[in-house]
Structure formats: C-alpha cells, structure tokens
Amino acid sequence: MPHIDPALERNREFAASGAYRDVAIMPKLNLFVVTCLDPRVDPAAFLGIGLGDAAVLRNAGGRVTDEVVREISFISQLVEGAIPDGPLFEVAVVHHTQCATGALADDDFRNRYADRIGADADSLIDGAVLDPEATVRADVERLRAARSVSERVSISGHVYDVTTGLVATVLRT
C-alpha cells in the first residue's frame, strides 16, 4: 500500500467537511512561521495553529536561507499593497532542540552530503543547528538586516524544546 493513501483518505474527509471554505489568503493571526521540517516540529500542533491562522514555511533546521528571505520579501510586498500604513505581520523563526541538522557539523557526514548535492562542504556548516538559541538569534538578525524585508514586519525568534513541548521566546525585534 502506498504511504500516501492514509493521507489521501484524510483529505477526502477534509474536503467533505468543507473546512477549507471561506479561508482568507491573509492569515488570521498575521503570522508567518519559519520552522524545521522535522515531523516532531509541526506548528499546527505545538502552536495550536489552525487552517488559515498563519503562513508556514518549513525547511531543514528552520534556517533563514536566501530563499526564505525572498519568500518573506514577496509576502511583505503583497501585504504592503493591501495595508498602506502600520505593521504588516510578524515572522516567528522557530528552531528546536535535538535538530538533525547538527549532523552537518560532522566532517564526514557533511563531505558526503556535499558530494551528493554538488555543493561546497564548507558552505554547509552554517546550516547546522547545534545551539538553537544562538542560531535563532543569527537568523532573526539576518532577516532584520535584509533590505528586501519591509521594516513594517516584526520578527521574533523562539526555541521549541522537543522533550518538554514548550516554546521559549529568545528575541523580538
């Protein structure tokens, strides 16, 4: 049985419920969450986010990459067109404990991975989340320094502890 079949059954139930109707493109909480793709780190679960509450972007480590900066810049430009004055939305960058991207700090793993994807191994070390408080601070600062992200966007950094289920706020700008 294909692995997606149970999820497709859940989709049919979702579609039949009509829960997707009347969900606006602008999130109800004016929130954009950047977090890890780790299945233990689902913001719908640990932040109680429902359909239409927030925009969510997930990648390995929840790191603020060039692509993440572009996505947030795109959304901020769209929203600026709809909201001419005042704050636009908040970006919450959420890293977590026990992140598997820590493997990028291992020279052997990083070199093999770099070969696999055709990248420079030294450039990959920055993706490692060994100290989530430090990396979330660095990523919040990177977003704040990005000229393409509107100054009307607030940015915060948080760490989700996978052993306690709690989120700690590290930084707000």
Q: CATH number for the domain including 14? A: 3.40.1050.10
Question: What are the tens digits of pLDDT across the range 14-47?
Answer: 999 999 999 988 899 999 999 999 999 999 999 9
pTM above threshold 0.85? yes
Number of domains in the chain: 1
Of 137, 61, 135, the C-alpha closest to 100 is 61
Q: Which domain does 29 fall in, by range?
A: 5-172
Q: What is the pLDDT of residue 1?
A: 64
Cα distance between residue 168 and residue 15, in whole Å: 35
Cα distance between residue 127 and residue 88, in whole Å: 28
